[in-house]
Amino acid sequence: MTDNWVRRMVNSGNPTVGCFLGLGSPHVAELLAHAGYDWLVLETEHSAVDIAQVEHMMMAVQNTNTIPIVRVPTAEPIGIQRALDAGARGILVPMVRTAADVQAVVDCTRYPPDGKRGFGPLRASGYFRQGEEYFRTANDNLLVSIILETKEAVDNLAETSA
Protein backbone atom coordinates (compact mmCIF):
# COMPACT_ATOMS: atom_id res chain seq x y z
CA MET A 1 0.00 0.00 0.00
CA THR A 2 1.41 3.36 -0.94
CA ASP A 3 1.72 6.08 1.65
CA ASN A 4 -1.52 7.94 2.40
CA TRP A 5 -0.03 11.41 2.30
CA VAL A 6 -3.40 13.07 3.01
CA ARG A 7 -3.63 11.16 6.30
CA ARG A 8 -0.15 12.37 7.21
CA MET A 9 -1.08 15.98 6.37
CA VAL A 10 -4.31 15.85 8.40
CA ASN A 11 -2.56 14.24 11.38
CA SER A 12 0.10 16.96 11.34
CA GLY A 13 -2.51 19.73 11.22
CA ASN A 14 -1.81 20.78 7.64
CA PRO A 15 -4.70 21.72 5.35
CA THR A 16 -5.77 19.66 2.37
CA VAL A 17 -8.31 20.43 -0.34
CA GLY A 18 -10.82 18.00 -1.72
CA CYS A 19 -14.20 17.55 -3.30
CA PHE A 20 -17.32 15.47 -2.72
CA LEU A 21 -18.62 13.47 -5.68
CA GLY A 22 -22.13 12.01 -5.65
CA LEU A 23 -22.27 11.15 -9.34
CA GLY A 24 -21.39 7.57 -10.20
CA SER A 25 -19.12 8.55 -13.05
CA PRO A 26 -15.54 7.32 -13.29
CA HIS A 27 -14.97 10.03 -15.91
CA VAL A 28 -15.92 12.80 -13.49
CA ALA A 29 -13.83 11.20 -10.74
CA GLU A 30 -10.84 11.07 -13.07
CA LEU A 31 -11.39 14.68 -14.17
CA LEU A 32 -11.53 15.90 -10.57
CA ALA A 33 -8.43 13.91 -9.67
CA HIS A 34 -6.52 15.43 -12.58
CA ALA A 35 -7.78 18.87 -11.52
CA GLY A 36 -5.43 18.52 -8.55
CA TYR A 37 -7.65 17.79 -5.57
CA ASP A 38 -5.83 16.16 -2.67
CA TRP A 39 -8.75 13.89 -1.85
CA LEU A 40 -12.08 12.95 -3.34
CA VAL A 41 -15.00 11.79 -1.18
CA LEU A 42 -17.13 9.33 -3.09
CA GLU A 43 -20.60 9.95 -1.68
CA THR A 44 -22.68 6.85 -1.01
CA GLU A 45 -24.87 8.05 1.85
CA HIS A 46 -26.89 10.66 -0.06
CA SER A 47 -26.62 9.32 -3.60
CA ALA A 48 -27.52 6.27 -5.65
CA VAL A 49 -23.84 5.37 -6.07
CA ASP A 50 -23.23 1.69 -5.25
CA ILE A 51 -20.05 -0.22 -4.40
CA ALA A 52 -19.45 -1.31 -8.01
CA GLN A 53 -19.54 2.32 -9.16
CA VAL A 54 -17.29 3.31 -6.26
CA GLU A 55 -14.78 0.68 -7.31
CA HIS A 56 -14.74 2.01 -10.90
CA MET A 57 -14.36 5.57 -9.64
CA MET A 58 -11.38 4.52 -7.51
CA MET A 59 -9.85 2.83 -10.55
CA ALA A 60 -10.22 6.12 -12.41
CA VAL A 61 -8.22 8.07 -9.80
CA GLN A 62 -5.65 5.33 -9.16
CA ASN A 63 -2.90 6.86 -11.31
CA THR A 64 -3.17 10.30 -9.73
CA ASN A 65 -2.09 11.75 -6.38
CA THR A 66 -5.73 12.07 -5.26
CA ILE A 67 -6.68 9.93 -2.27
CA PRO A 68 -10.11 8.24 -2.61
CA ILE A 69 -12.27 8.41 0.50
CA VAL A 70 -15.70 6.77 0.67
CA ARG A 71 -18.52 8.32 2.63
CA VAL A 72 -20.30 5.15 3.65
CA PRO A 73 -24.08 5.16 4.19
CA THR A 74 -23.89 3.96 7.81
CA ALA A 75 -21.44 2.87 10.49
CA GLU A 76 -22.23 -0.79 9.78
CA PRO A 77 -18.98 -2.78 9.51
CA ILE A 78 -19.91 -4.53 6.26
CA GLY A 79 -20.22 -1.27 4.32
CA ILE A 80 -16.98 0.10 5.75
CA GLN A 81 -15.04 -3.09 5.08
CA ARG A 82 -16.39 -3.38 1.51
CA ALA A 83 -15.26 0.17 0.73
CA LEU A 84 -11.80 -0.50 2.17
CA ASP A 85 -11.47 -3.87 0.43
CA ALA A 86 -12.41 -2.21 -2.87
CA GLY A 87 -9.51 0.19 -2.44
CA ALA A 88 -10.69 3.20 -0.46
CA ARG A 89 -7.79 4.92 1.26
CA GLY A 90 -10.14 6.45 3.78
CA ILE A 91 -13.71 6.42 5.00
CA LEU A 92 -16.07 9.08 6.22
CA VAL A 93 -18.72 7.71 8.57
CA PRO A 94 -21.97 9.58 9.27
CA MET A 95 -24.19 9.69 12.34
CA VAL A 96 -21.57 8.75 14.91
CA ARG A 97 -22.92 9.57 18.36
CA THR A 98 -20.81 8.03 21.13
CA ALA A 99 -17.30 6.92 21.99
CA ALA A 100 -18.52 3.33 21.61
CA ASP A 101 -19.63 4.18 18.05
CA VAL A 102 -16.18 5.61 17.30
CA GLN A 103 -14.47 2.52 18.71
CA ALA A 104 -16.69 0.22 16.64
CA VAL A 105 -15.78 2.14 13.48
CA VAL A 106 -12.07 2.02 14.27
CA ASP A 107 -12.28 -1.69 15.13
CA CYS A 108 -13.74 -2.60 11.74
CA THR A 109 -11.03 -0.65 9.91
CA ARG A 110 -8.08 -2.24 11.71
CA TYR A 111 -6.67 -5.73 11.37
CA PRO A 112 -5.99 -7.77 14.51
CA PRO A 113 -4.59 -7.33 17.03
CA ASP A 114 -5.56 -3.63 16.74
CA GLY A 115 -9.09 -4.27 15.48
CA LYS A 116 -11.57 -6.79 14.10
CA ARG A 117 -11.34 -6.32 10.32
CA GLY A 118 -11.38 -9.56 8.35
CA PHE A 119 -8.76 -10.03 5.63
CA GLY A 120 -10.20 -9.84 2.12
CA PRO A 121 -8.83 -6.73 0.39
CA LEU A 122 -9.02 -8.10 -3.15
CA ARG A 123 -8.59 -4.87 -5.09
CA ALA A 124 -6.95 -2.93 -2.24
CA SER A 125 -4.08 -5.43 -2.12
CA GLY A 126 -3.51 -5.50 -5.87
CA TYR A 127 -5.46 -8.76 -6.06
CA PHE A 128 -3.22 -10.17 -3.31
CA ARG A 129 0.01 -9.42 -5.19
CA GLN A 130 0.79 -7.02 -2.31
CA GLY A 131 -1.32 -8.84 0.27
CA GLU A 132 1.38 -9.12 2.90
CA GLU A 133 2.40 -5.46 2.54
CA TYR A 134 -1.22 -4.32 2.60
CA PHE A 135 -1.89 -6.30 5.78
CA ARG A 136 1.28 -4.91 7.39
CA THR A 137 0.65 -1.23 6.50
CA ALA A 138 -3.13 -0.77 6.28
CA ASN A 139 -3.74 -0.05 9.98
CA ASP A 140 -1.38 2.93 9.86
CA ASN A 141 -2.32 4.10 6.38
CA LEU A 142 -6.12 4.42 6.30
CA LEU A 143 -7.79 7.73 7.06
CA VAL A 144 -10.80 7.23 9.33
CA SER A 145 -13.11 10.22 9.68
CA ILE A 146 -16.44 10.56 11.43
CA ILE A 147 -19.29 13.02 11.17
CA LEU A 148 -20.86 14.29 14.38
CA GLU A 149 -24.27 15.53 13.26
CA THR A 150 -26.67 15.10 16.16
CA LYS A 151 -27.21 16.80 19.50
CA GLU A 152 -26.29 13.52 21.17
CA ALA A 153 -22.95 13.51 19.35
CA VAL A 154 -22.25 17.08 20.42
CA ASP A 155 -23.21 16.27 24.00
CA ASN A 156 -20.77 13.32 23.87
CA LEU A 157 -17.99 15.26 22.17
CA ALA A 158 -15.61 15.15 25.16
CA GLU A 159 -15.90 11.37 25.49
CA THR A 160 -15.85 10.86 21.70
CA SER A 161 -12.62 12.78 21.14
CA ALA A 162 -10.77 11.20 24.06
Catalytic annotation, residues: 46
- CB-based burial, 139-148: b 16+ in 10 Å, e otherwise: bebbbbebeb
**In what order do the strands lie in the sheet containing 143-146?**
18-21, 39-43, 67-71, 90-93, 143-146
The gap from C-alpha 78 to its chain's centroid, in whole angstroms, comes to 13
* 158 contacts: CB under 8 Å, gap ≥ 6: none
Give how far Cα 120 sits from Cα of 27, 40, 115, 125, Å. 27, 24, 15, 9
- CA-CA-CA-CA torsion sign (127, 131, 135, 141): negative
Neighbours of 12 (CB within 10 A): 7
Question: Which residue, among 153, 154, 145, 125, has the nearest Cα to 20 in the 3D structure?
Answer: 145
